[in-house]
């Protein structure tokens, strides 16, 4: 059995054969096309056929991680915002049926959470995955219930929490890495990448430390909300910024208790281990 994984984002489509030990073979990354005339599905079909022919695959098992709300039973996009044109209703099961033996389709944050589960040293009772990037995504897993589904296939839309009527912004607009970039631009600071800002802070730059501390407090506020609603055993922070590891957590974790009742306590908070490959690995973890 060969497992082929795809990760469909607004900017790139990533793909690879995922080996039994979680390593990736024949990794590819192409730009996501403007989705006219099922362009995204057509890219998946083409890449899938290339994998099958190149590696002489006889039994094809496919997992897809994708932006948007996913009807996992139907392998269909239940809802997608306008960032990906004409994506709502995309039926992967119908399009890919001639090529595959088994198909799983997940929202990208759900896939990332499943990927993280594959590298945890012991079973976890419950886990919330929070991804910080262009936007903010969430996924919740319970060992007895599995992934949360939601009546309309769009649970854990936590980016919409904590709306502030004064600034007319929500959690995602303030606490995503895009929110951090807007905050820094608004302060009039010279351009640096997010990684460079963390590097400056680690070297003692007071402006960088103060800015990341303020942004980290916004992230912490949302984590406190997650703690109160879900009471998970662990909270994992994913997205590209998770590569900062302890340098990221130092600006967030100490501030969570500010937004919880005294003595309330909170989950273990850590950064993702698989980082950018979590969704690919998770997409085929249940195949």
Task: Look up tokens 């944050």; give the residue.
Answer: 109
One domain for residues 111 and 126: no
Rounded Cα gap, residues 13 and 110, in angstroms? 17
One domain for residues 139 and 269: yes
pLDDT tens track of the chain, all 287 residues?
A: 899 999 999 889 999 999 999 999 999 999 999 999 999 999 999 999 999 999 999 999 999 999 999 999 999 999 998 889 999 999 999 999 999 999 999 999 999 999 999 998 888 999 999 999 888 999 999 999 999 999 999 899 999 999 999 999 999 999 999 999 999 988 888 888 999 999 999 999 999 999 999 999 999 999 999 999 999 999 999 998 999 999 999 999 999 999 999 999 999 999 999 988 899 999 999 88
Q: Label residue 86 exposed, middle or buried (CB < 10 Å: 0-12, 13-18, 19+).
A: middle
Range of the domain at 168: 122-273
pTM above 0.75, yes or no: yes
The structure tokens listed for 148 are 């949360």
CATH number of the structural domain spanning residue 43: 3.30.420.40
One domain for residues 241 and 143: yes
C-alpha angle 109/115/120, rounded to 5°? 125
One domain for residues 111 and 178: no
One domain for residues 240 and 132: yes
One domain for residues 156 and 18: no
């Amino acid at each position: 059995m060969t497992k082929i994984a795809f990760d469909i984002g607004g900017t790139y489509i990533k793909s690879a054969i995922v080996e039994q030990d979680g390593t990736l073979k024949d990794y590819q990354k192409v730009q996501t096309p403007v989705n006219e005339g099922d362009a995204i599905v057509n890219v998946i079909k083409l890449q899938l056929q290339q994998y099958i022919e190149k590696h002489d695959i006889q039994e094809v098992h496919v997992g897809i991680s994708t932006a948007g709300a996913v009807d996992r039973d139907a392998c269909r996009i239940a809802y997608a915002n306008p960032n990906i044109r004409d994506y709502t209703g995309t039926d992967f099961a119908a399009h890919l049926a001639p090529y595959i033996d088994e198909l799983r389709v997940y929202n990208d944050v759900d896939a990332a959470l499943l990927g993280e589960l594959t590298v945890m040293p012991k079973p976890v009772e419950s886990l919330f995955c929070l991804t910080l990037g262009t936007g903010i995504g969430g996924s919740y897993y319970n060992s007895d219930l599995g992934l949360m589904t939601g009546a309309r296939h769009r649970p854990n839309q936590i980016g919409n929490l904590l709306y502030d009527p004064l600034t007319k912004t929500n959690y995602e607009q303030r606490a995503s890495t895009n929110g951090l970039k807007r905050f820094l631009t608004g302060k009039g600071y010279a351009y640096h990448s997010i990684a460079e800002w963390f590097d400056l802070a680690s070297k003692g730059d007071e402006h960088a430390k103060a800015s990341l501390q303020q942004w980290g407090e916004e992230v912490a506020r949302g984590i406190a909300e997650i703690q109160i609603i879900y009471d998970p055993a662990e909270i994992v922070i994913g997205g590209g910024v998770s590569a900062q590891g302890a340098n990221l957590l130092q600006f967030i974790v100490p501030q969570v208790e500010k937004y919880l009742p005294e003595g309330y306590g909170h989950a273990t908070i850590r950064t993702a281990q698989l980082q950018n490959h979590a969704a690919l690995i998770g997409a085929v973890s249940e195949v």
